Structure 1
Amino acid sequence: MAIPACLSLAATLAFSAPAHAAEQGYDPAIAAALDRVADGSWTDADIQLIQGVPEVGQAVPDPRDEGTVSEVKIDTSPNIYPPENAPGTYQQAAAATTRCKDLTVSIDKKDFFGSRIYRFNTRTEWCYNGSKVTGIYRKDGWISNNTWGIYFRSWSIDSSSTRPDGSAYHDKRANLDYCVAYYGCYTQTHPYVYLKMYKTGGYEHRRYAG
């Protein structure tokens, strides 16, 4: 279902469409298929219909794609951590046993033809000493490689904290609008990464591509 924040974009998208899209114009059958993609009731016939109009299929994230996850992890030097107010600089940590990690988690979402339509990223830096997570020093999130029609609106959740059991978490969730020329913004989705960090240096994450 389209959201009010999207409605103001519809006219802009109609005038900013690629030249080939102008030849297609508005098709009520495509509009109905987009509605079913948005609410999860799509069928194979909807997939085929949207793929039959490349200008639409290249602008719509494929609901069959669960996302491709990748990680970049760095074990930083012992006894140092990056302070929040000075990214990229370092100072001594209090405990000699402290170790730190720098983890980037990325999720690629594809269009109806298998090409990447956007990437959702989080980056977290934290330190631990075997007894507890001593601090979380970077809590970033961003969208990259997005094509026109994919609009970041805000963070629906942007939260992190240490816990009494010595663990910690970082929860980053975005509000993304999906928009198509001539059809406006037909839905909003909420990709996220929820990272749990353990006092021993281990971690795990849940994620959703959108």
Structure 2
Amino acid sequence: MSTPYPVRLAGEELWLLPEKALYWPAQQALLIADVHFGKAAAYRSLGQPVPQGTTGHNIAVLDALLASLLCRQLIFLGDFLHGPGSHATATLKALVDWRTRHAELPMTLIRGNHDKRAGDPPASLNIRVVPEPLLLGPFALQHEPQPHPDRHVLAGHVHPVYRLNGRGRQSLRLACFRLGEDVSLLPAFGAFTGGYPVQRNENCRMFVIGDNEIWPL
């Protein structure tokens, strides 16, 4: 695991992880947004040339995080599976093998828009599926980044990225965390997910991910 970057949010210490995940030490909870398992398989089933090995990569990163952190719960903030085509045999076998390695770890999925299309994970994965919001401490854990009346929202869905401009036409498009006053965004965890550019202002804190480190802006 790379070096975490501790921040304070809603009175809690949270660790921003360069692996595009968030760890909440007080709850011993690892939060993952938008892994989109099986997206590449779904695209290949439509005859589109896309990268292979993304499921294996995502699982390897998850395994490394779970080996490095003291976790008593793993929470997915929506979009666990990408779509109906994600139920490919090889994808599901890899997920079942991964779940078997962590059989004692409670896992929860907060249902996102892609989960509604893909269907809930197979029962063999033993993942509790709940609607948003999941209220935990001062936070409303959600997929959609919609404000909650009395909790700070931790959400995914947007796949936030930030563009750093250099000299001339040089620029970098980096995954980021955007911590706002009422709603904070996690980057997409999945290796094949794309990103949506977000802006910073005086009401938010931005942290980009580059060279396996977290960089505050």
Sort the TM-score into its range (normalised by shorter chain): under 0.3
> Which of the pair is proportionally richer in strand?
1
Structure whose alpha-carbon radius of gyration is higher: 1
TM-score (norm 2): 0.25
